[in-house]
Amino acid sequence: MQGTVATYDASTRSGVLLLDDGTELAFPARAFDASGLRLLRLGQRVRLDVDATGAVVRVTLPTMA
């Protein structure tokens, strides 16, 4: 699944993604930490992995495996 970074707080390493259908989906620091990324920019396109409950478990760049 992919989305766009709507908000990102570097101090908490968490934020909100905007999915293609307009749904907002929050992600916690542990999902950002699992990515290996150093930062995110507002408007940046990202790929997200979710668990069975729909919670974001990892946020990466679309080009990363």
The per-residue pLDDT for 65 is: 57
Kindly tell me if the per-residue pLDDT of 17 is higher than 80.
Answer: yes
Gap between the Cα atoms of 50 and 9, Å rounded: 20
The per-residue pLDDT for 64 is: 62
pLDDT tens by residue, 24-64: 999 999 999 999 899 999 999 999 999 999 999 999 998 86
The two tokens of residue 46 are 């990202």
User: Chain-centre distance of CA 23, in angstroms?
Assistant: 13
pTM across the whole model: 0.88
